[in-house]
């Protein structure tokens, strides 16, 4: 009888151990560092989390609001986030230890996918006599939120075309704050580096007449020469209410990044799930049409994570 009881207890321990292990496996937590709620990163990252939760077994993913690119690569470097969304200028300089990352190299960064190009939006109200970039001198200008890719990009780009931060009153605001404070007359100009159309600019354009400040061809050429990961792009007319002309600007691709030490199997499954369920991303924002396996395999400015590379080789977009 004692032997039967002992056997029963042992079987119970094994059974509940298996159940507990299974429960633990189901609770594997994945965090996705995105950006502010007024941009595209947050809804895009939210859909990535939804895809992972629905299509990758035993993984629970959550999208988190952050300061965006610069903060995100730092979170990935410390493995305080599983995946992060970041602009490729930030990704490259963090990996190489250049610019603001001099002496603070994050060479553990790896890309998973290439998302879409971010376009540089410089926005004012039509009532202000601000028609070209040099007109922002002496004005109240939001250069982007602290720790964001927008602010990082602005810090690189404006000096190349002859505009220093000391030339204007600097505000560091989120996308949503850009719109609110422009409505309230607190700032004259807001800068976004984001996929068009973005909700905060749409919101602003519904209540105020806005103007997009374009780059000149010469300014674009200077930027491209200084930073080859930036390229000429156009915001097509009618992207936003009241925008009757194409706007010449610059673009940079965005990556989903992770740490090189993230397990290959997890990254492979996530990459596969993303591309097999891309329609969910496109339904969230049409800019996700640019999210392709070919772009992801060829446009990364840093090494691709082996788990993602395995998928790209498997489908034949890279050898």
pLDDT at 7: 45
Same fold, 23-117+253-314 and 118-252: yes
pLDDT at 316: 97
CATH 3.40.190.10 fits 23-117+253-314, yes or no: yes
pTM over cut 0.95? no
Render each residue's pLDDT in the chain as its tens digit; 319 residues.
Answer: 555 544 444 444 444 454 444 444 567 999 999 999 888 999 999 999 999 999 999 999 999 999 999 999 999 999 999 999 999 999 999 999 998 899 999 999 999 999 999 999 999 999 999 999 999 999 999 999 998 889 999 999 999 999 999 999 999 999 999 999 999 999 999 999 999 999 999 999 999 999 999 999 999 999 999 998 899 999 999 999 999 999 999 999 999 999 999 999 999 999 999 999 999 999 999 999 999 999 999 999 999 999 999 999 999 999 8
- Per-domain residue ranges for the chain? 23-117+253-314, 118-252
259-290 burial by CB neighbour count: b if 16+ within 10 A, else e? beebeeebbbbbbbbbbebbebbeebbebbeb
Q: Which of 220, 71, 203, 205 shows the shortest CA–CA distance to 150?
A: 71
pLDDT at 25: 54
At the fourth CATH level, the homologous superfamily of domain 118-252 is: Periplasmic binding protein-like II (3.40.190.10)
pLDDT at 121: 98
pLDDT at 228: 83
């Amino acid at each position: 009888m004692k032997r039967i009881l002992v056997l029963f207890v042992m079987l119970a321990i094994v059974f509940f151990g298996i159940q507990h292990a299974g429960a633990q496996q189901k609770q594997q937590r994945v965090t996705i560092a995105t950006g502010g709620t007024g941009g595209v990163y947050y809804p895009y990252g939210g859909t990535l989390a939804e895809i992972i939760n629905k299509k990758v077994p035993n993984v629970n993913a959550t999208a988190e609001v952050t300061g965006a690119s610069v903060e995100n690569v730092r979170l990935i470097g410390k493995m305080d986030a599983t995946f992060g969304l970041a602009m490729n200028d930030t990704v490259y300089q963090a990996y190489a230890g250049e610019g603001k990352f001099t002496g603070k190299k994050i060479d553990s960064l790896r890309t998973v996918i290439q998302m879409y190009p971010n376009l540089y939006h410089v926005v004012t109200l039509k009532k202000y006599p601000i028609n070209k970039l040099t007109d922002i001198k002496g004005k109240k200008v939001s250069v982007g939120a602290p720790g964001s890719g927008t602010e990082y990009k602005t810090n690189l780009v404006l000096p190349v075309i002859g505009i220093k931060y000391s030339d204007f009153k600097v505000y560091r605001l989120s996308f949503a704050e850009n719109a609110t404070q422009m409505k309230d007359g607190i700032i004259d100009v807001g800068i976004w580096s984001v996929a068009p159309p973005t909700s905060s600019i749409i919101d602003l354009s519904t209540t105020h007449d806005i103007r997009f400040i374009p780059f000149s061809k010469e300014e674009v050429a200077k930027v491209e020469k200084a930073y080859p990961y930036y390229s000429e792009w156009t915001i097509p007319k009618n992207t936003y209410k009241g925008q009757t002309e194409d706007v010449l600007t610059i673009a940079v691709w965005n990556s989903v990044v992770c740490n090189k030490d993230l397990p290959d199997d997890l990254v492979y499954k996530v990459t596969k799930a993303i591309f097999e369920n891309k329609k969910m991303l496109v339904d969230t924002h049409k800019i996700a049409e640019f999210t392709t396996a070919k772009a992801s395999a060829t446009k990364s400015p840093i090494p691709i994570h082996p788990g993602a590379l395995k998928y790209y080789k498997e489908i034949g977009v890279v050898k």
